[in-house]
Amino acid sequence: MNEHEIIAQLALDYRALEIGGSLILHADCFEWLSRISENSIHAIVTDPPYGVKEYEFDQIEKRSNGNGGIWRIPPSFDGSTRAPLPRFTALDRKERDSLRRFFVEWAKVVFHALRPGGHVFIASNAFLSQLVFSALVDGGLEFRGELIRLVRTLRGGDRPKNAEQEFPGVSSMPRGCYEPWGILRKPLLPGMKLSDCLREFQTGGLRRISDDKPFSDVILSERTPQSERDIADHPSLKPQSFLRQVVYAALPLGEGIIADPFMGSGSTVAAAEAVGLHSIGVERYSDYYETSRMAIPKLAALKLRLEKEWLQLPLLN
């Protein structure tokens, strides 16, 4: 079976659409990951919802009404108003517990679907990464490090609330200048060497940028450009310049299937398409699924300024 046929089979009975060499599905990823055959996916690159409230319908409603909820409006600067950001620090103990359970359970279904040696790249934030990564390990995945996306997130750096004048020289948290992505892996089979795993499962390692340059764990990134936001209206859209490097690294031999179980508007699938890889995106909400149908071909077609350079040079000088 070739990758097209394998991908078509992975649609199961869900609403699905093929876009180039990829597939998008309207499904709940917990259900889909647990229903597909064991060891079907070679890698996962994803940006999860931080599941407790962020994407619950009432929160989305409050956000679009401008009524607050867990969303705060950061100050505008450079003359442009920023999109609302979720206030992660608002999570209490119980919510942190549900978040932990969410990621333990998710890791278990990922473990089932992923081939031995398959990598997981998962977006997080500096405030929650420790909790998320350790939950994923509790669910059976192996922690392999972090990928640091250098980007000014606009989180943190604020003076003490309602006492800004009194303590002008203090901020409550550092200003966020990076986004940590967990790098995890389904463990190799017992006694298996990396070379064996590459031969048998096409997984286990990361694809090099070039002969003399391995993939590195810091990427000098950017905020998602307006040109991409105009294509895909999702509050958590990740930039193509970053994602194309990650999906490229995720398949060590450039073969196999990458899944994004929390697809949103399809930026990971678009990145895979742009670099000629097969991928499957899964999205639970119909509106975002519909957005992704339109957005993926357009995002994938974007020519990036750094496209040629990142294949030759690490972006970090």
Ligand X SMILES: C[S@@+](CC[C@H](N)C(=O)[O-])C[C@H]1O[C@@H](n2cnc3c(N)ncnc32)[C@H](O)[C@@H]1O
Q: State the residues that interact with ligand X by CB under 6 A.
A: 28-30, 47-49, 55, 232, 234, 236-238, 261-262, 264-265, 267, 282-285, 288
* Three-state secondary-structure class, residue 13: coil
Q: Please report how close the Cβ of residue 57 comes to ligand X at its closest, in angstroms.
A: 10
Count of other CB atoms within 10 angstroms of residue 311 = 14
Shortest CB 148 distance to ligand X, Å? 17
Q: Return the amino acid letter for 207.
A: R
Shorter beta-carbon distance to ligand X: residue 52 or 197: 52
Minimum CB–partner distance for residue 298 and ligand X (Å): 13
Which C-beta is closer to ligand X: that of 33 or that of 197? 33
| Token pair belonging to 53 | 């409230």
Residue 33 C-beta: closest distance to ligand X, Å: 9
Say if CB 292 and CB 266 are below 8 A apart.
yes
- Least spacing, CB of residue 212 vs ligand X, in Å: 32
Q: Which two tokens stand for residue 215?
A: 């993939």
Q: Which residues contact 135 (CB under 8 A, 6 or more apart)?
A: 99, 100, 101, 102, 103, 104, 107
Residue nearest to ligand X (CB): 264
| In the complex, least distance from residue 187 CB atom to ligand X, rounded to whole angstroms | 24
The CB-side HSE value for 144 (13 A sphere, CA atoms) comes to 23
**Is 103 or 262 the residue whose CB approaches ligand X more closely?**
262
Phi, psi of 71 (to 5 degrees): -95, 140
CB of 234 to ligand X, least distance (A): 4
Nearer to ligand X, 59 or 203 (CB): 59
Q: Which is nearer to ligand X, 128 or 282 (CB)?
A: 282
Residue 228: Cβ-neighbour burial (10 angstroms; 0-12, 13-18, 19+) = buried
Measured from the CB atom, is 188 or 219 closer to ligand X? 219
Question: Which residue, 129, 110, 259, 135, is CA-closest to 187?
Answer: 110
Rounded Cα distance, 82 and 146, in Å: 27
> How far is residue 222's CA from residue 217's CA, in Å, rounded to a whole number?
16
Q: Which is nearer to ligand X, 57 or 77 (CB)?
A: 57
User: From CA 34, how far away is CA 91, in angstroms rounded?
Assistant: 28
